Amino acid sequence: MPQISQLLEVYGSQFFWLLIVIGIIYFGIARNMVPKISKTVDDRQKRITDDLAAAQAAQDKAEQIETDYRTSINDARADALGNINEAKAKAAKKNEAAVKRADTAFAKKADEADAALKAAKTAALKEIETVAAEAAQAIVSTVSGAKVSAADAKKAVKAAF
Amino acid sequence: MHQFEVQPIFDGFTLFGQQISFTNSALWMFLVLGLLYVFMMGGMKRELVPGRWQIMVEGIVGFVDNIIATSIGPNGKKYTPWVFTLFMFILFSNLLGMMPFGIIPGIHPFTVTSQFTVTGLLAAISFSIVLVVGFWKHGFKFFSLFIPHGTPVVMIPLIFMVELLSFLVRPFSLALRLFVAMIAGHILIKVFANFVIQAIDAGGASWGIAVLSIIFIAFVSALELLVCAIQAYVFALLTSLYINDAENLH
């Protein structure tokens, strides 16, 4: 095995060159380049975390805004509904009052008209009676030549009615 | 066995009486370094929306961070560079050694992690970190690591010795595990490759053995690629577990 048979001749040069190479790797690469690479990874991780946090915050804000909007729109709707109901009630009351007033006026007018009608009817009846009595008197006198007194004719007409 | 031999490319200099020559092993270490650098540069665009390459690099960095986070916890951040160095160096060495560069004449791929000197030094550094951190943070209380909770008083000396032994074996098991896994896979493939050539030389019905061996090589290679990743992971994971013992002490 050359590793053992050569050991005494080569260990010096092996150690020497190995120490140089290992030293260059340790100080040049492992202590110099590796931290930079680690930092790149950490920075990226940090940036991803930050971005995610920002996105989460933005989403929360959007949700908050939506909730606010919902609440305000619901409030407005309730308000409007209340207003409408109030207006409806007001209008209904007003209508009722107006209708009542009109009713009373109509009733009054109707009563008056009724009374006038009744009076007119009575007057008309009386007139008709008088005319009928006169007509009956004239007819009797024309047909029979007998003279009928106005009072008799009136009595007969009244009976006929 | 030739593939595990360390050969000088050019003679370097002498340091503390040792010949420090630039070897094929050193060359492949630098190839690993270069490959790792190119790989990491692909992840340095630092775009907000990563491309495929950047995702890959960030995935591996996150993987190592995860090992540290689960086995050491929040105190483990300062050990990330070392565990990352271990994981990436071992992973790239293992994989580079498995690549079929050998089909190009004159190029002999070399698996750095199949050298006991290399895995041994890596394990020794990890173990030194454990010792230094342990004694620095806890002082002599660090020895309480060797006495599990609820041990009967009579048993303490025995348990202490057993735990101490298992603790001292850690760097060797760490180094040997990786070294053996890599060398075994390579040797297994080499053995079956040998069968192919011998069977073809023998001719006749032996062709069946050659075909069978090639199929086997394909499967072993796939398995080895898995082992490459697993061994790198195991080395990094065990190192962070050992550091956890020193950092958090029970």
Tell me: the pLDDT tens digits for A28-72?
888 888 888 888 888 889 999 999 999 999 999 999 999 999 999
What amino acid occupies position B179? F
State the count of interchain CB pairs (< 8 A) between A and B. 129
Using alpha carbons, select from A152, A126, A127, A124 the residue that is nearest to residue A137. A152
Q: In this predicted complex, what is the ipTM?
A: 0.85
Six token digits for residue A132: 């009928």
Residues A99-126: tens digit of each pLDDT: 999 999 999 999 999 999 999 999 998 8
Chain A: residue whose CA lies nearest to B54: A37
Whether B122 sits inside 8 A of A22 (CB atoms) is: yes
How distant, in Å, are the alpha carbons of A67, A68, A74, B136, B172 from that of A77?
A: 15, 14, 5, 77, 85
Whether A29 sits inside 8 A of B36 (CB atoms) is: yes
Q: What is the mean pLDDT of residues B43-69?
A: 84
Percentage with pLDDT > 70 across chain B: 100
Name, in order, each residue with C-beta under 8 angstroms of B14's C-beta and a sequence gap of 6 or more: B20
Six token digits for residue A139: 């007819």
Whether B6 sits inside 8 A of A14 (CB atoms) is: yes
pLDDT band at residue B250 under the 50/70/90 scheme: low
> What mean pLDDT value characterizes chain B?
85
pLDDT of residue A14: 84
Name, in order, each residue with C-beta under 8 angstroms of B3's C-beta and a sequence gap of 6 or more: B108, B109, B110, B111, B186, B190
- Residue A121 vs residue B19, higher pLDDT: A121
CB B247 within 8 A of CB B133: yes
pLDDT of residue A131: 86
How many whole angstroms separate alpha carbon B213 and alpha carbon B210?
5
Percentage with pLDDT > 70 across chain A: 99
Residues B185-213: tens digit of each pLDDT: 889 988 988 888 888 888 777 888 888 88
Query: What is the model's pTM?
Result: 0.73
How many whole angstroms separate alpha carbon B190 and alpha carbon A92?
111
Q: What is the mean pLDDT of residues B59-81?
A: 87
pLDDT of residue B249: 76
Whether A22 sits inside 8 A of B40 (CB atoms) is: no
Chain B: residue whose CA lies nearest to A47: B48
Smallest CA–CA distance, residue A53 to chain B, in Å, is 18
Residue to mutate among B32, B46, B108, with most A CBs inside 10 A, is: B46
pLDDT of residue B3: 74
